Amino acid sequence: MSKAERQSLIAALEKERDSKIIVYITGDRPGLETKIANDIFPIFNKHLRAMGEQKRIDLFLYSTGGLTNAGYALVNLLREYCKEFNVIVPFRALSSATLISLGANEIVMTKMGQLSPIDPSLEHPLGPTVSLPGQPPRIMQISVEDVNAFFSLAKSSELKSEDSMKQVFQILASTVNPLALGAVQRSREQIVFLADELMKCHDGDKEHIKKVIEILTKGRFSHDYIIGPTEARQILGPKVINPNPNTTKAIYDLFDAYNKMLLLDTPYTLEPLLGGKDKTEASLDRAVIESMNFTHIFRTVREVRRIQVAQPGVPAPVIAYQERPLKESWIAE
């Protein structure tokens, strides 16, 4: 679908919502994942400056998450340009994207819409590593709530004395560097602070804010837990909006356009890219920021090769693939 056609769909949704819309999609195709990150702010500011100060801005958001500080700062930036900030969730708005949604006056969720807990996972330079055959060691992410669950398990096993808990901590510290554990605790405190600050922008009920944050950081046990629109309304209350049929159609039409653009539901496989050749350059669109004023695409160019690899004990060479990144950046279309 062309840029003009997508912007026609944006205009239709703006009319339905009586708002100005900015689209932010981070792709989640395996091997091509992108996340909410700090490189977006000059781009968003360009869109917002062209848009000017508005009564209402809606962020059309699809993402599986990213940096919590980036999500927090994005809400603050958007609020500088509008009196009312809302989030439209056509499908996935998980982790840091859920944090962004907490900063909205309204969360407009389709029946397919998904939020998640906001308990952070931390990748620390001194964190534990895992090694897989044929691959270099990789630093594991540390789940904040997994650490807390470890101590809860110890307490539930009747290891409640001071000496017992010291032994439990020593066991954990022998596996995870104490400095990484300290970073985990700071991360936990930070996500509570960020969520509280974002919700205070539009919600004056301190007890309600505290309850929501408690549920989204501790109450669903797994970071992978999916919160649909009905449960989102139970947790967050009337700020979660069920769009009318016309608005729903406009949201789905726009999401379908980006789904086709970024091939979100298409497996990433290399043979189709080669098209029968042994070597090619593949241009891969992985994320998009778009409004009625501009289009910015995060694009990766990779060299892809089909090679034959001889393996011990195998009479014929085995076909394999090599990928080499050539360049990647946000580009203006």
Report if residue 151 sits inside a domain. yes
Residues 99 and 128 in one domain: no
Mean pLDDT confidence for 35-39? 96
The least confident of 31-40, 111-120, 180-189, 259-268 is 180-189
Residues 49 and 65 in one domain: yes
Report if residue 201 sits inside a domain. no
Report if residue 149 sits inside a domain. yes
Strands 82-89 and 54-62, bridge-based pairing: parallel
Q: 8: buried, middle or exposed (CB in 10 Å: 19+, 13-18, 0-12)?
A: middle
CA-to-CA dists, residue 295 to 223, 269, 289, 306, 329, angstroms: 32, 27, 6, 34, 14
SS3 332: strand
Quick one: pLDDT at residue 308? Answer: 87
Q: CA-CA distance, 156 to 176, in Å (whole number)? A: 22
157 — pLDDT class (breaks 50, 70, 90): low
Helix (H) or strand (E) segment spanning residue 93: none
Q: What percent of the chain has pLDDT over 90?
A: 68
Residues 16 and 50 in one domain: yes
Residues 7 and 92 in one domain: yes
Q: CA-CA distance, 25 to 297, in Å (whole number)? A: 10
Residues 8 and 104 in one domain: yes
| Comparison of pLDDT for 86 and 178, the residue scoring more | 86
Residues 36 and 84 in one domain: yes
SS3 194: helix
Residues 33 and 88 in one domain: yes
Q: Please say if the pLDDT value at position 306 is more than 80.
A: yes
169 — pLDDT class (breaks 50, 70, 90): low
Residues 111 and 241 in one domain: yes
Q: What is the CATH number of the domain that holds 68?
A: 3.90.226
Quick one: pLDDT at residue 54? Answer: 97
CA 158-162-168 angle, to 5 degrees, is 65
Residues 164 and 245 in one domain: no
Residues 102 and 175 in one domain: no
Residues 66 and 128 in one domain: no
Quick one: pLDDT at residue 165? Answer: 56
Quick one: pLDDT at residue 163? Answer: 63
Q: Domain residues for 131?
A: 122-184
Q: Please say if the pLDDT value at position 271 is more than 70.
A: yes
CA-to-CA dists, residue 7 to 13, 27, 109, angstroms: 10, 19, 21
Quick one: pLDDT at residue 218? Answer: 81
Residues 20 and 73 in one domain: yes
Residues β-bridged to residue 36: 66
Q: CA-CA distance, 144 to 314, in Å (whole number)? A: 46
Helix (H) or strand (E) segment spanning residue 295: strand 295-309
Token pair 């056509």 is at which residue? 90
Report if residue 198 sits inside a domain. no
SS3 21: strand
Q: What is the separation of C-alpha 130 from the centre of its chain, rounded to a whole number of angstroms? A: 24
Quick one: pLDDT at residue 13? Answer: 98
226 — pLDDT class (breaks 50, 70, 90): very high
Report if residue 19 sits inside a domain. yes
Q: Please say if the pLDDT value at position 58 is more than 60.
A: yes
Total structural domains within the chain: 2
